[in-house]
Structure 1
Amino acid sequence: MTRNDTRLGITLMIVTTFIFAAQDGLSRHLADAYSVWMVVMIRYWFFAAFVIAIARRQAGSIRAAAATTQPLLQAFRGALLALEIMVMVLGFVFLGLVESHAVFACYPLLIGALAGPVLGETMGWRRWTATAIGFVGVLIVLRPSGGVFSPYAAIPLLAALMFALYGLLNRYAARRDDAATSFFWTGTVGAVVSTAIGIWFWEPMTPGDSVLMGLLCITGALGHFTLIKTYEVAEVGAVQPFAYLQLVFASALGIVVFDETLRLNVALGALIIVGAGLFSLRRARRAAA
């Protein structure tokens, strides 16, 4: 049952972004010590169990949750998200939380740019201008003289592109499947794909890191749970701007815990990207209205 409580929705979105930032910090720590592929695989095992439990509750049975007329699309979505998470965690390892999230923040702009060819949606000149300005912000973040520009800089940009495509495919799948079905396929297919890759990189973990791995699994499930609740109590357009707080929380975590630095070009570029994204979101809401 949905209701419209914007204040509660904003609070839940802030909590969600904080949980996801903590998840990113745990992912970075564990991926520094162990294989990225193994870390994501274990995380997906727990996530798949959570997804199945939620799907059974919402749809009534696993068979009902899995029922779809577009299995190839649903499978591709699930695989794409699992691979995107692996790519993003690689970005944490090579670039850190601050710079990875500064680049990844451009994904809403990519969604707008790709909405035309993927979904047939149109975008006005103002949103196209905002998108162009946002990518100027990306170039500022990746400024060669700033020390960020390297082959590794392409990693979070690729993750942003993959996540944008995943978001568009969610909207495309929603034309014929409900959220419970899409959520089920996301978790189960992602677990299969991550296991097919990660099982070859298995290595034992220390007791302390096993505890952190458990916390990573819990934050993954908890973050998705609070996100679901966010969209149950408030309209997406009202709470979506607060999703950018994950950039703030993750950057703070990178600076305080991992001794990362926030260079001026990264801060300036991130502000431009977020500003362009918020403007584009506002124009999209007006167009929808």
Structure 2
Amino acid sequence: MKSNSTGYVFTLLAISIFAIQDGISKHLVSAYPPLLVAMIRYWAFMLFAIAMASRAPGGLRRNVRTKHPALQIARGLLLAAQIVVAISSFVIVGLAHSQAIFSSGPLMVAMLSIPILGEKVGWRRWLAICFGFVGVLLILKPESGVFDVRFLVPLSGALLFSFYVVLTRYVSREDSAMTSFFYTGVVGAVAMSCIGPFFWTTLAPHDWIFMGILCLTGVSSHYFLIRAYDLLDAVVIQPLTYLQLVLSAIIGVSIFGEKLSAPMILGALIVVAAGIFTIWREHALARTRPKAGKASAD
């Protein structure tokens, strides 16, 4: 496994910046329409994606070529929708609760990979998935005894992102990672630019500073994550991304005054444990399949 200290530094930088980005997003969306915030954020992301694709081997012309144009557009639209839902969720249910529910993403990806990618999920991963969703139920445990419909917002965000991840895996069979990254930025920016202007609201001068920082965090976090994947294997990076849940909870509690309940904390721990096992098991099987020549029973 290729790894070094620089890769870990890039990973931790990316995770920390993602958490800060979420906090800034919550601040801005508390005062301005989510579609407006997402649109401006995507403008910076699009410029970054074009610049990265232009500098990559083959240049922009090569990295624009795709064998799955419809799916690449669908990916871009899914992520754009997910970002709007996610930043809305930060205000509706809070940073900590949102990230706790988003952490169920790998479990949803494992389930969606069966019908979309044709993957096989054995009893170990099914057990982890079921165990993880018990954790989700704990996170959603209503204190009043009645289910809070607001939790449907982060749940839908987790589902949207899971579809995005599965489609990304599908197109990666023939398209390069840089091609997918290019379409993620450009398609999302175009989609947001078609809708966002209808929600235009003049930002206060000090909030333009926050918006500028948000754009910088969006670019820098993705840059550091790309560098991390150049140096570390995905199986090393993906479990570390759960640190974002911890950092977001700290920001939510210390800055926004959010409260963490015991069921929510326990549920998050269960979801994270199940997610890490699912990720590890998937990569372990991926290493054994080429040698075995057939899918292993997991």
TM over 0.5, shorter chain: yes
Residue 267 of structure 1 pairs with residue 272 of structure 2:
no
Residue 94 of structure 1 pairs with residue 112 of structure 2:
no
Which SS does the other structure have where 2:56 is aligned?
A: helix
Q: Residue 6 of structure 1 contacts residue 238 of structure 1 at CA under 8 Å; is this kept in 2?
A: no
Which SS does the other structure have where 2:230 is aligned?
A: helix
Distance 1:69 1:170 in 2: 13
Q: Could you report, residue by residue, the CA deviation over 1:85-116 in whole angstroms, capped at 9, with x for unpaired residues?
A: 00111110100101111111100111111111
One-letter identity of the residue aligned with 1:212: F
Match of 1:28 in 2: 26
Q: Matches of residues 165-244 of structure 1 in structure 2 within 5 Å?
A: 165-244=163-242
Match of 2:296 in 1: none
> What root-mean-square deviation, in Å, do the aligned CA atoms of Structure 1 and Structure 2 show?
1.4
Over 3 Å counting, the alpha-carbon distance change for 1:262 and 1:148 in structure 2 is farther
Distance 2:229 2:75 in 1: 20
Per-residue deviation at 1:148? 8.9
Per-residue deviation at 1:61? 3.5
Over 3 Å counting, the alpha-carbon distance change for 1:269 and 1:54 in structure 2 is same
Per-residue deviation at 1:285? 2.2
Match of 1:111 in 2: 109
Per-residue deviation at 1:181? 0.9
Distance 1:204 1:148 in 2: 38
One-letter identity of the residue aligned with 1:282: W
Q: Could you report, residue by residue, the CA deviation over 1:208-237 in whole angstroms, capped at 9, with x for unpaired residues?
A: 100000000000000000000010001111
Distance 2:67 2:280 in 1: 34
One-letter identity of the residue aligned with 2:120: T
Which SS does the other structure have where 2:9 is aligned?
A: helix
Which SS does the other structure have where 1:39 is aligned?
A: helix
Q: Residue 140 of structure 1 contacts residue 266 of structure 1 at CA under 8 Å; is this kept in 2?
A: yes
Q: How many equivalent pairs are there?
A: 287
Residue 79 of structure 1 pairs with residue 77 of structure 2:
yes
Over 3 Å counting, the alpha-carbon distance change for 1:139 and 1:24 in structure 2 is same
189-198 vs 143-152, which moves further:
143-152
Per-residue deviation at 1:59? 4.2
Distance 2:108 2:241 in 1: 16
Unaligned runs of 5+ in 2: 288-298
Residue 45 of structure 1 pairs with residue 43 of structure 2:
yes
Match of 1:57 in 2: 55
Which SS does the other structure have where 1:33 is aligned?
A: coil
Unaligned runs of 5+ in 1: none
Residue 131 of structure 1 pairs with residue 129 of structure 2:
yes
Q: Residue 74 of structure 1 contacts residue 185 of structure 1 at CA under 8 Å; is this kept in 2?
A: yes
One-letter identity of the residue aligned with 1:108: P
One-letter identity of the residue aligned with 2:197: I
One-letter identity of the residue aligned with 1:196: C
Over 3 Å counting, the alpha-carbon distance change for 1:151 and 1:239 in structure 2 is same
One-letter identity of the residue aligned with 1:63: R
Match of 2:290 in 1: none
Which SS does the other structure have where 1:145 is aligned?
A: coil
Distance 1:192 1:75 in 2: 10
TM-score by length of 1: 0.96
One-letter identity of the residue aligned with 1:55: A
Per-residue deviation at 1:146? 6.0
Per-residue deviation at 1:13? 1.4
Over 3 Å counting, the alpha-carbon distance change for 1:44 and 1:285 in structure 2 is same
Per-residue deviation at 1:194? 1.2
One-letter identity of the residue aligned with 1:175: R
Which SS does the other structure have where 2:67 is aligned?
A: coil
Over 3 Å counting, the alpha-carbon distance change for 1:25 and 1:125 in structure 2 is same
One-letter identity of the residue aligned with 1:14: L
Structure (1/2) with the larger helix percentage: 1
